[in-house]
Structure formats: C-alpha cells, structure tokens
Structure 1
Amino acid sequence: MQHDMAVGTETYALELRGIDKSFVGVKALKGASFACRPGEVHALMGENGAGKSTLMRVIAGVWKPDAGTILIQGREVQITGPRHSQGLGIAMVYQDTRLVPDLDVAQNIWLGREPGGAITVDRRAMEEGARTILTRLGVALPMNRLVRDLEVAERQIVEIARALTGEPSVLILDEPTSALDAAEIERLFSIVTELKRQGTAVIFISHRLPEVFAIADRITVLKDGELVGTVDRQAVDHEKLVAMMVGRDLALAYPPRAQAVGAERLKVEALSSPGLFNNLSFGVRAGEIVGFGGIQGNGQADVARALFGLVPCAGSVMLDANPARFKAPAHAIKAGLVYVPGDRHREGLFMPHSIRENLSVPHLAEWAGLGRIPAGRERQETLDAMSRFAIKAASGEQAVRTLSGGNQQKVVLGRWTVGDPKVYVFEDPTRGVDVATKLEIYRRIRALADAGAAVILVASDLLELIGLSDRILVFSKGRIVDEIAGAEATEERIVGSAVEAGRTHGDPQAATSLIGDATTPSAAAKSGSATGSGLLSRYMGPLLLLVLIALLGLATTRYSDFFLTSRNLSNIAAQVAPLALVALGQFCVVVLGGIDLSVGPLISLVTAMASFLAATEGGAGVIAAIGAALAAGAATGLVNAFMIVRLKIPDLIATLATYSVVFGLALIVRPSPGGLVSDDFLDLFETSLGSVPVAALAIVLVYIAFEYLMLRGRLGQRLYAVGSSSEASLAVGLRTAWIRAAAYVFCGICAAIAGLIVTARIGSGDPQAGSIFTLASVTAVVVGGVSVFGGRGTAIGVLLGAVAVGVMQNALNLMQVSAYYQYIWTGGLTLLAVAGYSLRLSRKKKRS
C-alpha cells in the first residue's frame, strides 16, 4: 500500500500526543507521545511495565485513553474500538496472540473480515487467501488445523498473517519474534522490509537489542509510562539504549560459566516417545547448565515436557542415582524436578488469580499444616519473590491478567525460585522480558546452578543459549546430533549441525524450519487433504450417536413390537419436536459457554397464556396466542441478556432467577391445569403429512439450515469464535456483547415456539408442562457433543441428542419403567456424555 509524503513538511502515519491511561492503583501512561512515519520501522522499547503494550492497545482500540490526542495521517481521530481502529488501517499482532483456539487456521486468519456474502463465507476464497499470505511469510500450514493444536511459533505466524489481511497502513508488532527461531525471524524481517518499502509504518516492540538494531530506523524509549526520547538507530549504541531504558548504565554480559561441576544429578538413557524423539541419552551434573539447541521444534521442548511428566515416554530416568520416572507433574515436583513452560498463558499462569495465589500454589502442600495455609509465610514469600524480580504491581493481590507480559513472565519464574528443587527445566525463560530483567534472570539461573541444582535450558534465542550454557546438546529430528562446549559454541555450529543432520536423516527443507516451506509438495498435500479429515472429525460424534440410537431402537424392538409401528414413531416425532426446538436455542447459548435454565418455565408460561388467548375459534385468537408467546420469549431472553451481558451476573445465577420469576408468572396465569385451546390452534400445530407431524419436519429442515450456517456461515464463525475466546473475538472487532445477547433472545424465542407446540400436544394450559424441558434440553445439547465450556459442537449433533433422549424415554415407557426412574436415566445419560467428551479431549491432548 503506497502512501503519499507531503513535500517539505513532516507527515506522520500515526501520531500520539500526551496520552494518559490509568488502571486501578497504577498510572500506566503519563503524557506519553509517539510518532511514526510512513515507510519506516519504528522500534518502541522500555522496561517491563514501561507502558509500551498499554500505548499500543490504546492505538488498537482495546482501551480508551483518559486524555490525549491521536492523529492518523495528520487527522485527529477518536478510536472507539478494535473494529474502528482496523477501519483506520491499524493492525496489531499481540505478544500473547489473540487467536480463537477452536477455529482453524484459515478461519482465524480471516476472522472478522471473511470473504463471501452477507450470510455465508466463501471457504475456498478464504483458504486461497490465507495460503497466499502464508506463502508470503514463507510457511505452509494445513488450513483446517485447529489453532489449539498449533505450536507457539505457528500461532504467532497465524496472528501475523491475520494482521496482513487488511493491508494495514500501520502495523504494530508486539514481541513478534519471541517464539520464532532464527530462520523464521529472518523471514519475518524480509516481510517487514517489504512492507516498509510499500510505505507501511511498522511499530516494532521488542526487548531483543540485536533485532532492534537490525530492523529499526528510529527507536522510541518509554519509562514508567513517560517518553524518555526518540533517537535514530545510527545515533545510539547498545549501552546508550539500555541506559535510556533503565535510567543508568548497565553492563551487557552473561554471568561466568561454571568453574567446577558436581556429581550427576540427572541421568537419562534411551528416552523415547513415538513421533517426538527417539533413543536419547544424556546427563546433567550439579552446578551445570545444559542447553538444548538446534532448529526449533526438533524435540527439545518435547524432551523437557517428558521429563516433567507431560509427555508419555519410555526409557530410564535417574535423579540423584535413584529411578525417577514421572507419570505426572505432581510426581516430578515432589521429587525435586520443576519445569518452567514457555507458554505462560496456557501453562504457566492462572490468569484471573492474584500474584500471591500464582506464586504459592505449588508450595501449599508443603506449607500447610492441618489443612490451614500460613498466611504470614505466604505473604512474605510473595513479597520476597516480587522484590527479587522487581515485579511491577500495586500489591501481591493484583490479578496476573492485568500485568504486562514481562511482569507475568517474572511471576512464573518467581514461583519456582521460592522452593529448592534439584533439577530446573527452563523453556524460553526470558521471553517478553526487558533487558535489565533478562540480566537478572541470567544471574538467577546461574546462581541456582552454583547452589547445586542441575539446569536444563531450552531457548529459541541462540545467543542466549550460547551465553548461558556450559554444554549444548544439538537436536535434529528428535535425536541428539552434536554436543558442544558452551565456550566453543557459535550460531553457525549449532544451526549447521542441526541442518546437516536433517539433510542426512530426513527432508532437507523440513530441517531448516519449524513450520516448513510453503512450496514443499508435502505441505501442500497436507493442507489440501485436511478438509475431508476435518469434516470426519466434526461429524464423528453425531455418527456414533446415530449408531447408538439405532442400537437402542433394535434393543427396544426385541422387547416390544409396537416400537417400530408408524403410530409409535409418529408419537416419538411429536414428542421430540418441542425438545429439539428448545435444544436448538440452548445450543446457541451453550456454544458460547453459557446456559439458560429459564426455558422450562417459559414453556409452561406459554401454555398458560395460550389456553386463554387461543380458547375461541378463529384466527384472531391464534394470532394473539402466537404474538404473546413470541413476546414472552423475546422479553425473557432480553432480561437474561441484560443481567448477563450488562450487569455481568453469571449466567447460572441470572437464568436461575429468571426461572423462578417466569415459573411464578405461569402459576399466576394458570394456577392449575385447565382450559382448552381451539381446533384452529390444534390444526395449525398438529398437522401431519401422512403419519409424520409437519412441525417435526419443519424443525428438521431448520436444523439442516442451521448446521449449514454453523459450518459455512458467518453465524457459525461468530458463535464458535466468541464461545472459544471472547477476548480474541473482541480484539478483531466482533461485537461479543451483541452476539451473547442475541443468543439468549433466540433461545427464549425457541422456547416460546416449543411452548406453542406443547400446548397443541396437550390441548390445554399447564403451569408444570415445561418442567422437564430445562434438564432435557441441556441433556440433548451435551449428549449431542457440545462442549459446556463453549466453542465446540454441531447442530446436527444436538438434533440427534434430542432424538436420543426422546427414543430413550419412549423405550422406558414401553418397558413400563416408572417416570421417576426416567429422570435417573436422563441424568445418567448426561453424565455419560460429559465423561465421554472429557475422555476424548484428554486423548486428543495426549496425541498432540
């Protein structure tokens, strides 16, 4: 995208003047200013908590400034939200990636701006466009691979690709290289250089000085939320830049290597895990730091996780000469081996909880006496850890999610320096950390080794790996192919060993990149073949449920010949129709991670109202009953939405309150069963096509259409995205509050129409008629394979879940099982479905 430069005047693509932003107890920005020209790479640097990410989130529309001015191309703007920011030509790649775990690669890249029509998305165009962008980045990923199955580096690439879909005039890269290896960083820099040539203003946030000096034209430094200064890259060296950031001169040096090492603390022999690594043997001595090097993704991190009990493996592991196979992290921690993960958000932190809780959680069993946590010790250990790592926070009670990325990383590291383990396994311990803190972490890691611990270091930054390690084991294709003394190691030696081994033992191109070359036939084939496997995976659950329904039907047939008669099948269809309809509404709520308990009483209220309004013959009464039912459903949904979305009341509490209110209204309208609806009303809702109720046929057609929209429509993209990650959806400009509100209103309308069908079925009003539908609708959704945590599930699965519930109830009736026991069977079926889903999810995680 080309940008015109004004002749003789300074033209900024983006300019900020006097930006203020405060949070509870902390003033993050204090009159901060920043300006970036078209066609330049402008680095933004500072210590953790300096305000860099806060300033960029103000630009991206995530947060609104308390004061200050923002100008785009010289024009003052008030950025109202992420969508508005994107419309102004601003795109941001977040340090902690704002991706939706349960959407695939193509869907994430185009989320919020999918190609296609008003209702459906063009999947082919979406995949082709995503593949084109990834090719520009020099990588290839299967379009149908879910983001939750990607490595950290792959997720970073997907986020960068998404930012490029809008051809932004201002591109913000927040620590974009933190999870990339050297080859991927080089490719990213070539993309940044090309964007710069096209006139794009690139804001590059990083703590890695060599990268900043390699790519930036100008550098702006923030400290404590204030502007320190802006300098040309050529006018400053490393030491001066560090002094600007920390406010004093700071020597850039790694701590001295070990002068002497002790006995072997960790000994590994013939360690193997199918598809990850094979026949590895190595040892780590007390006082020694052993680095795992090579091209990222060749087994280093897998071995680290296997030692901690996160990856199943075979072989021998000895800790202080004692056998020590860890089947779970708890066993490893108890034995004295700890693992500090590289992905702090997914594995390192409990984001909603406080710093104190995050620091103390692995030590509570050791500290507690008689089930009581010593508050004094917990508080003191928290203060000590915060002091050691200079964690910037109002107090130890501040939620971790409100901290900057670097301060979050400090919390992860501080957690394990509280205790006294024998073996430390660090994976990228300085990711997202400022220079001063990096040096402190280096000293801390060396001090742990000097105190007698054995240390394993997995680092994507080769300079860091070389500077800290006493020995480096080079990995390639899950094997150790070289061992280098730290003092003799060079980047060329490490990469050369890994690449040469990759060429000897496998695909030469695969050895040079974690993700792969976009032009390799294998990558393209893998991407192209993903569609079929993706559909099979999506519908495997419903297919198994269909088989279960068939088996249940066959078993019932052996008990009663009446089961397969047209009369009984028609009865099942009529029984399932209202349940399927209310389950469809419940599905929309549950896929967002919510629940609606008010559907049962709402059905009862509709039957009570209809028994009065539709009691007389003629169309007026029928229309009045339908109108009142729809109004009641929409009103109930709106009340639920207001409490949940606006008042932030948990959905369980909000809909439970609505449950009581609506149930009370049903009893007021019709205290006891009674009243008769007109024949005109019955004719409308009880019409049959042969022996099949028209209402049941219509609902099946609605489900088919809804499933198509979930699979290929914008509706499905929105529901899955918000249900899987509301934060990521908000970051791309989706109106998450409106989507949640619409789901509850839709659920209320579905329940209201189901109430009309129930009214026609019983022919009168009954304040208890809907009592079974709350539990039954949730059962149908869960049995249909929808995750109660949101983001996953199919409409077809829910329909089959409703059919399964209906067939089971019919079978129990034919077997003359008491209605009381049917509740037990329904609850048991729900538990069985949830247990089955949990087992499948657990197996998928182990395979990945």
Structure 2
Amino acid sequence: MNDQNTLLQIDGVTKVFPGVRALDNVTFSVLAGEVHGLVGENGAGKSTLMAVASGALVPEKGRVVINGAETKGDTDAARRLGLAIVRQEPALMPDLTVAENLYLGVPIEQRPSLMNTAQWAQQLLRQWSDDVAIDANERVLSLNPEQRFIVEIVKALAAKPKVLVLDEPTEHLLAEDVDRLFEHIRKVTAASCSVVYISHRIREVQKIANRLTVLRDGQGQGTYDAAGLSEQQIVELIVGGALDREFPAKAGHERAGVVLDVVSLRGAGFTDVSVQVRKGEIVGLAGIDGNGQREFMRALAGLARSRGSITVNGIPAKIQTSQAAAASGIRYLPGDRHRDGIFGELSVRENFSLRSLPFDSIHGWINQRSEARRTKLAVTGFAVKTPTVETPIRSLSGGNQQKLVLASVLASNPEVLLVDEPTQGVDIGARMEIYKVLRQAAAAGTAVIVVSSDALEVAGLCDRVSIFSRGHIVKELHDTAVNENNITSAVLTATTERERGSASIPGFWKWASGDWAPLVMLALAVCALGIYATHVNDTYLSARNLSGMLALVATLAIVAYGQQALMLVGGIDLSVGPLMGLMVVIQSFFLNDGASMMHQLSGWVIVILIAVAVGVVNWILVDPFRLHPMVATLATYMALQAASLLLRPVPGGLIADSVVEAIGTQAGFVPVIAIFAVVLAVALEFALFKTRLGLTFRGVGSRVEAARMAGVRPHRTLLAAYVGCSLLAGVAAVPMMAQVGSGDPSSGINYTLASIAAVAIGGASLFGGRGSFVGSLLGALLIVQVNVVTSFLDIGDSWQSYLLGGMILASVALYSKSREMAVAK
C-alpha cells in the first residue's frame, strides 16, 4: 500500500475497559478518495475503534496516524489534522441554536463572525438540500431525530475533512436523505477525502463502499473488496459462520380473537384511524415520515392527546397519559432510545426492571436478588453484551441498549406492544433474534404494531400493513400482497409529498421558550407592580425612594451576574453571600478614616486575591474532586462565614465617609453604581450571545461532552466561571460596603438565596445552557421592588416571602413547561 495515499492508519490498537477487551491488536487503514466500510455486530468494536481514531479514547497499545501525523489521544489534534466524525448519537448541544452548533463544529479558521453565523449556517444547510426544513436559528432541542442527524452530517461536511467517519449515519434518515448523503460522499471522495462508513445495513455498505473491513469481538477479520462479496458472505464474515436470515413464519390468525380494537382515533397529525390487531398477528404501519403513523403510535402509548374508542381484549382502555396506557396493558418501545428509552446513569439491572417492578417487589420493597436474576436471564436470552448487570447502560453499544430496552418492555407482559423502529442500530444477528421475539410475543396473545422505515423489514415481519398518507390509512395490504415492492409502491403512489417542517409547537409556548420571553414578562411585572404601588402611595416614585432602590438593585444584580455565569455551565455557588460579607469585614480594617492610600490599596489587593482564591477552591472541589456544586460551595459558605466571625465577632470598623460618598456618587437621583450595573448587564449579554467565550459557556452547560467534542475545554470553562462568579461577588460587595458602613460579618448572608432567585426569575435554566444577564438584572429589580412595595403598602414582611416564592415557582414552572413544549417529539 502506498503510504502517501493513506490518510488514516491505525496500527495494532488495543483498548481495554473493565472486564472487556473492546479492541485487540486491530490494524486498519483508509486510502485517499475511498469509502471504506467498517462492519461487525454490536459490541464488535467499530465505534470504539473510531473513538480511538478521533482521540476521544486513548488506547493501551497502538498508534493512530492521520494525514501523516501521529495523534496522542487528543481530539483537538485529530480535528486539526482533518478528521471529522458523525456519531450514532449526534454530538450537538441542545440549548444552542443550529447555527451555533455548526459554528463550534468547524475549525477556528473556517468560522465566520458570530454576527453573521445564522446566514452562514443557513447556506450550509441549503448545500444539503434547497428545501431543507431546518431553521438555523432554531434550538437543537426542538429538532426531530432526522433533523438532528442532518445537522450533525452538515457540521462534519462543513469542516472540509480529510477523513470523514460516518457511524450509522442513516438510521434516522428517509430514503431521499440517504440518497443526498451518498451524493455528498461521492463529492468528498472525488476531492480525495477518505470516508469510513459504519453501518449495520449491509445493502448500503455494498452500494457505497470500495473496500470493507470486518470486526468481530474486538479483532479484525480481514479487509475485502466490497464488490467481491455477496450480502450473505458479508453476513457470515460478521457472525463467524452461516446465519439463518429467514424471517420467522407468520401465524394464521383469521379466526383468532381481537386483542386491540381502535375505532376513529384522531389527534395531532392523524384523523379517524381505525385498526384491529388479532392474537398472533403483527400489524405494520408504513408511509412517508410525517404522514401520521408515528403520531398515531405515540397517541396509543399515551404520549400525545387523542380522541376515539380503544379496547384491549374487550375492555375500554385509557390513554390520557403513558401511565394510564401502561395500566391498560399498552407498552411502547421508542425509536430514539437515547432520549426516550434508557436511563443513562442507571445500571443494566435497573433499566431492565423499571418497567416491571411488581415482579421484583413485595409491599413496595425491591428484591435485588430477583432483579438481578431476571436481568441475567434477559441479558442471556437477548444476547446483550455487558460486563455485568451493574454496568451503567450508557457504556453499552447502541444495539445492546436497544435489545435491553426491548427485553425490559416485554418483561412487563404487555397486552399491546407498540414498536418504533425495532432494529434501529442493531446488527444482523440481533435483528433475527428480535424478529423471533416479536413473533413469539404475538403468538402468546400480545397485539404487536410496528412502525419501520425499512420496507423489507415490514414485509418480512408483518402479517398486515396499513399505509398512511396525510394522517389517514389509505390502503391495507394482506397475506401474499405483503411484500417489499407492494409496500414501496403503495407508499409512493399514496402521496408524492412529504409534510415538512419542525414539530407543531403552539405559538405561545414557542415564544415562551425563547430568550426574549423572560425579559418581556419581567418588564411587564415590574411596570405593573410599580403602577400599583404608585396608585396606593404616590411617594413610591419619589427621587429618594428610587435612588435607594436602584442602589440595592445594583448590589443584587452584580452578584446575580456571577451566579448567572456559573449557572450557565451547570454550576451554582452558595458561598457568594458570605464572600461579600468577608470582603466588607476585611475592608473595615483598611478603609478607615485617616488610613494612607497605600494601606487602602493593600485592602483592595487582598480582597481581590481572596475572591480569586475562593473561586479556585470551589472549582477544585467541584471539578477535580467531583463534589456536587451545592455540597462544595456550602462547605465554602461555612468556612467564609467562620472567617468573618473570627475577624469581627461583632460589627465594627467604620468605613471612611469619603469612601462611602465615593461609592454612593449619583448622576441626578440615579446612583452611578446602578448605571454601572446596567452597562455591565448589556456588555455581558452581548458577550454571551456574540462572542466565542459566551458560546462556550452555554455549550458546556447545554451538554458538556458534545462541547468537548467540538473543541471546547470544559475544565477551563468551569474554572473561569467559578473565578468570575467570586470576582463579581467581590464587586457587588463594594456598594454593599456603602450601605452597611462597617464590618458586619452577617451583612452578605441574604444575598446567596437572593442572587439565585434573581437568576431563576430572569429565565435561567437550573441545569445550565440557558440564561440572560439582562434577565438577572430585571430579576434583581423585581425582588428589590417587592421588598420595597410591601413596606410601602404596610402588608407585613411575610408577604415578601410569599410573593418571591410565588414568582420563583411561576418562573421555573413556565420555563420548564415551555422547554417541554418546545422539544420535538
């Protein structure tokens, strides 16, 4: 082989996980301008090998050479050398827009100005398709699975890679988009790019690949010319021998009783759908995606609203919620297992038993031995490759996750089984096992309904097929008419148009999930409360009252900015209040009347150093030591408060009048510190949405692993957030100094919860990725306003707590609901 033509060379790579040798001395090379297929069963090591190639995993032995340069387990180095990868689960940050994800996904030198990102991204999307139904300004969380995959592919192509890795790229794509993908593959290989194509769909590999390499149990089984092997030969190489590829025999069901009877069901995306499923029968739903078949299935599962008549074994079924549907015997196997099928942090055992807990519990107490025994039987029966049943399910391959979810659903003994894409991401051998299991479930009396984009799968598995078009069943195929050609023909002749566009989201909820909604609603609340207070007591708008309010708002707003910066990356800091108090206590020893300029300057240097040190300590506890942010910063809270009490057991040490007057300088009746707080909010807001630093903060908070794959350094970002939060708390201590006037060790305590409340009311996500500094400013204004108004109205201090608590609950509930409504189903 000519080394000059080899763009990716993997030599003797071995990768070991606890209890598993995922790769064993694997060698693999890809030539310039070729499509190299990489095939094997689930768990064979395909994705692991490409993770090693991309630098996401570091092997125990071996080396990776990209475009002539060796990498050392560094994702940034692999990206710079020209490797781009499309993963089975798109590495996108859900709270960022499509444009922002594309921006972070390409090398720095290819990025446009952040001012022009949306236009640039839309042009990239149009290169995929002239009529692409994806808005570059949409957040990724509102895209459906197919759209997310298209964005992931466009992101990889936009990087202009020398080596392009496609890991199961077509699992969520329609046939027309598969054709588009193949066109793009041919274009990039014509420009001497290398493509590694990983897929369980053997026909696709044969169609697009020049050569293919087979992996089995972490070992290479040879490299072959793709054109020189038949489909059956490839399958036998994958499984290590001959495989029965016949679908299980279809059972006669003409006289069998009806298990599921659906009459005139209607809902979003479908109308007046009637279906019957008899014992021993599997019914398939086919049609161009977006024509109602999946919406109908989700409605049956209780995941979408619907109206109509449904009976299960003659008993009326309730499907208002998924819990009600499950109680009626209806269970659903989702197609998007990463979002809807698994609990990533829980073990294999827990994921299996969750859907059938009554089998392992006595009076609500779980018998873990029973759980483990049933899970081991399922793992064996479904050939799930896992080190132990206690292994977190997120560490399993996609196909093994799918098999375990199916085993979990069937373990609940459902009356009706709804299956969306039963073999998505599953290897050839496992597919046959799943087909047999579904046929056995039907024979045992379960009504089985299957939605699949694979016409051959529908034909081989199903007894009867209903064709959907524009929300209606327009044709039904029976008996010998159920074959691949008839299904494809019926789908294409029923409709030649696909209804495009994002999921239907009510206008209000779409607006409420955006960045402007919290600002508008807060502004309206502030105005309404101000108008009411003025109506009751006209001194509310006096210059003296407004000046005092604005000074308090500035103090709370500035510390809230620090809290917001940290919450953007998924953190929180309970220590900001005691840190502010400590700053005031320390300065009470330095900023006294008669103190020299050098003495005062020493005080400022000390408090700045302490603020930085506190931020670093918090980061060390949270990141390297992996403590929960609330636990870590609560410890810092207590340590700082103790330090303040040691220095000033009782309030003392008057701040010099000259310092107080300088801090309290006003422009008219407006404190200069309030003007500073407003300018700072606008500057930080601009930085958040229009600079790379702001984008990395939101990216890390949205999905840290996807941000890391995009070249962001999460550890550095988190360090910057903690240090920035502490520094802003130190800045907020300056106006507080003028308000307190002496070294009071308890002066800052209330600012911890108040700063969190201001950020929450301002529309921030408690999980990271979303927020607004202007929102934090308005949140601080509303909190101070409530405190002042209750005094003016003489309604008691308790109402401050009632009103603030109600506002926080309302804000968080509205945000959570709008986020839920904005997520594509």
Secondary structure of the structure 1 residue equivalent to 2:331: strand
**Matched residue, 1:84:** 77
Q: In the TM superposition, what is the alpha-carbon distance from 1:819 to its structure 2 partner? A: 4.7
**Matched residue, 2:693:** 715
- Which one of 146, 149, 154 corresponds to residue 142 of structure 2? 149
Q: Distance in 2 between matches of 1:472 and 1:732?
A: 43
- Which one of 676, 679, 682 corresponds to residue 704 of structure 1? 682
Q: In the TM superposition, what is the alpha-carbon distance from 1:622 to its structure 2 partner? A: 3.9
Q: Distance in 2 between matches of 1:43 and 1:21?
A: 21
Correspondence 1:330-349 to 2 at 5 A:
330-349=323-342
Which letter maps to 1:47?
A: E
**Matched residue, 2:545:** 568
Instruction: Flag the 1:25–1:117 CA change in 2: closer, same or farther, 3 A.
Output: closer
In the alignment, structure 1 segments of 5+ residues that lack a partner are 1-5, 517-522
Correspondence 1:47-196 to 2 at 5 A:
47-80=41-74, 82-113=75-106, 120-135=114-129, 139-196=132-189
For residues 170-218 of structure 1, the C-alpha deviation after alignment (integer angstroms, 9 at most, x for no partner) is 0000000111122221221121122221111100111111111111111
The answer to whether 1:803 aligns with 2:781 is yes
**Matched residue, 2:716:** 738
Q: In the TM superposition, what is the alpha-carbon distance from 1:705 to its structure 2 partner? A: 1.4
Secondary structure of the structure 2 residue equivalent to 1:230: strand
- Which one of 282, 292, 296 corresponds to residue 289 of structure 1? 282
**Could you tell me whether the CA contact under 8 Å between 1:270 and 1:280 is conserved in 2?**
yes
**Matched residue, 2:655:** 677
- Which one of 343, 356, 361 corresponds to residue 354 of structure 2? 361
Which letter maps to 2:201?
A: R
Secondary structure of the structure 2 residue equivalent to 1:791: coil
**Matched residue, 2:220:** 227
**Matched residue, 2:24:** 30
Q: Distance in 1 between matches of 2:267 and 2:771?
A: 32
For residues 588-618 of structure 1, the C-alpha deviation after alignment (integer angstroms, 9 at most, x for no partner) is 1112222100000000000001111111455
Q: Distance in 1 between matches of 2:199 and 2:23?
A: 18
**Could you tell me whether the CA contact under 8 Å between 1:676 and 1:765 is conserved in 2?**
yes
For residues 456-494 of structure 1, the C-alpha deviation after alignment (integer angstroms, 9 at most, x for no partner) is 001112211111111111112222122112632444543
Q: In the TM superposition, what is the alpha-carbon distance from 1:128 to its structure 2 partner? A: 4.1
Q: In the TM superposition, what is the alpha-carbon distance from 1:837 to its structure 2 partner? A: 2.6
**Could you tell me whether the CA contact under 8 Å between 1:633 and 1:748 is conserved in 2?**
yes
Q: In the TM superposition, what is the alpha-carbon distance from 1:813 to its structure 2 partner? A: 2.4
**Could you tell me whether the CA contact under 8 Å between 1:780 and 1:802 is conserved in 2?**
yes
190-199 vs 214-223, greater mean Cα deviation: 190-199
**Could you tell me whether the CA contact under 8 Å between 2:104 and 2:711 is conserved in 1?**
no
Which letter maps to 2:29?
A: A
Instruction: Flag the 1:103–1:809 CA change in 2: closer, same or farther, 3 A.
Output: same
Q: In the TM superposition, what is the alpha-carbon distance from 1:116 to its structure 2 partner? A: 9.2
The answer to whether 1:468 aligns with 2:446 is no
TM-score w.r.t. the length of structure 2 is 0.95
Q: Distance in 2 between matches of 1:454 and 1:254?
A: 18
For residues 67-89 of structure 1, the C-alpha deviation after alignment (integer angstroms, 9 at most, x for no partner) is 10111234433242x22211110
Q: Distance in 2 between matches of 1:644 and 1:829?
A: 30
For residues 140-183 of structure 1, the C-alpha deviation after alignment (integer angstroms, 9 at most, x for no partner) is 41112221111111111110011111100100000001111222
Which letter maps to 1:538?
A: D
- Which one of 273, 277, 283 corresponds to residue 280 of structure 1? 273
Which letter maps to 1:775?
A: L
Q: In the TM superposition, what is the alpha-carbon distance from 1:823 to its structure 2 partner? A: 4.3
**Matched residue, 2:423:** 430
Secondary structure of the structure 2 residue equivalent to 1:449: helix
381-390 vs 178-187, greater mean Cα deviation: 178-187
Secondary structure of the structure 2 residue equivalent to 1:597: coil
The answer to whether 1:416 aligns with 2:409 is yes
Q: Distance in 1 between matches of 2:59 and 2:192?
A: 27
Instruction: Flag the 1:119–1:743 CA change in 2: closer, same or farther, 3 A.
Output: farther
**Could you tell me whether the CA contact under 8 Å between 2:125 and 2:154 is conserved in 1?**
no
458-467 vs 810-819, greater mean Cα deviation: 810-819
Instruction: Flag the 1:162–1:71 CA change in 2: closer, same or farther, 3 A.
Output: same
Which letter maps to 2:33?
A: G
**Matched residue, 2:669:** 691
**Matched residue, 1:3:** none
**Could you tell me whether the CA contact under 8 Å between 2:513 and 2:822 is conserved in 1?**
no
For residues 125-146 of structure 1, the C-alpha deviation after alignment (integer angstroms, 9 at most, x for no partner) is 433443344338x734111222
Instruction: Flag the 1:119–1:761 CA change in 2: closer, same or farther, 3 A.
Output: farther
**Matched residue, 1:441:** 434
In the alignment, structure 2 segments of 5+ residues that lack a partner are none
Instruction: Flag the 1:279–1:621 CA change in 2: closer, same or farther, 3 A.
Output: farther
**Could you tell me whether the CA contact under 8 Å between 2:56 and 2:73 is conserved in 1?**
no
610-619 vs 58-67, greater mean Cα deviation: 610-619
**Matched residue, 1:540:** 517
**Could you tell me whether the CA contact under 8 Å between 1:783 and 1:798 is conserved in 2?**
yes
**Matched residue, 2:707:** 729
Q: In the TM superposition, what is the alpha-carbon distance from 1:743 to its structure 2 partner? A: 0.7
The answer to whether 1:212 aligns with 2:189 is no
Instruction: Flag the 1:580–1:606 CA change in 2: closer, same or farther, 3 A.
Output: same
**Could you tell me whether the CA contact under 8 Å between 1:13 and 1:170 is conserved in 2?**
yes
Secondary structure of the structure 2 residue equivalent to 1:376: helix
Q: In the TM superposition, what is the alpha-carbon distance from 1:234 to its structure 2 partner? A: 2.3
**Matched residue, 1:770:** 748
- Which one of 581, 585, 610 corresponds to residue 587 of structure 2? 610
**Matched residue, 1:626:** 604
Q: Distance in 2 between matches of 1:356 and 1:824?
A: 44
**Could you tell me whether the CA contact under 8 Å between 2:283 and 2:449 is conserved in 1?**
yes
- Which one of 11, 28, 49 corresponds to residue 5 of structure 2? 11
**Matched residue, 2:758:** 780
**Matched residue, 1:588:** 565
Instruction: Flag the 1:683–1:622 CA change in 2: closer, same or farther, 3 A.
Output: farther
Q: Distance in 2 between matches of 1:623 and 1:646?
A: 34
Instruction: Flag the 1:768–1:408 CA change in 2: closer, same or farther, 3 A.
Output: same
For residues 5-27 of structure 1, the C-alpha deviation after alignment (integer angstroms, 9 at most, x for no partner) is x9x66631101011111122222
Q: In the TM superposition, what is the alpha-carbon distance from 1:302 to its structure 2 partner? A: 1.0
Instruction: Flag the 1:776–1:130 CA change in 2: closer, same or farther, 3 A.
Output: same
**Could you tell me whether the CA contact under 8 Å between 1:70 and 1:77 is conserved in 2?**
yes
**Matched residue, 2:373:** 380
Instruction: Flag the 1:77–1:730 CA change in 2: closer, same or farther, 3 A.
Output: closer
TM-score w.r.t. the length of structure 1 is 0.93
Which letter maps to 1:639?
A: V
- Which one of 598, 603, 619 corresponds to residue 641 of structure 1? 619
Q: Distance in 2 between matches of 1:598 and 1:243?
A: 62
Secondary structure of the structure 2 residue equivalent to 1:139: coil
Q: In the TM superposition, what is the alpha-carbon distance from 1:429 to its structure 2 partner? A: 1.3
Q: In the TM superposition, what is the alpha-carbon distance from 1:115 to its structure 2 partner? A: 8.0
**Matched residue, 2:260:** 266
- Which one of 369, 393, 396 corresponds to residue 389 of structure 2? 396
Q: In the TM superposition, what is the alpha-carbon distance from 1:119 to its structure 2 partner? A: 8.7
Q: In the TM superposition, what is the alpha-carbon distance from 1:655 to its structure 2 partner? A: 0.5
The answer to whether 1:599 aligns with 2:596 is no
Instruction: Flag the 1:116–1:578 CA change in 2: closer, same or farther, 3 A.
Output: farther
For residues 697-747 of structure 1, the C-alpha deviation after alignment (integer angstroms, 9 at most, x for no partner) is 011011011112222222332122111111111121111111111111100
**Could you tell me whether the CA contact under 8 Å between 2:259 and 2:445 is conserved in 1?**
no
Secondary structure of the structure 2 residue equivalent to 1:358: helix
Q: Distance in 1 between matches of 2:757 and 2:806?
A: 10
Q: In the TM superposition, what is the alpha-carbon distance from 1:841 to its structure 2 partner? A: 3.4
Q: Distance in 2 between matches of 1:762 and 1:390?
A: 68
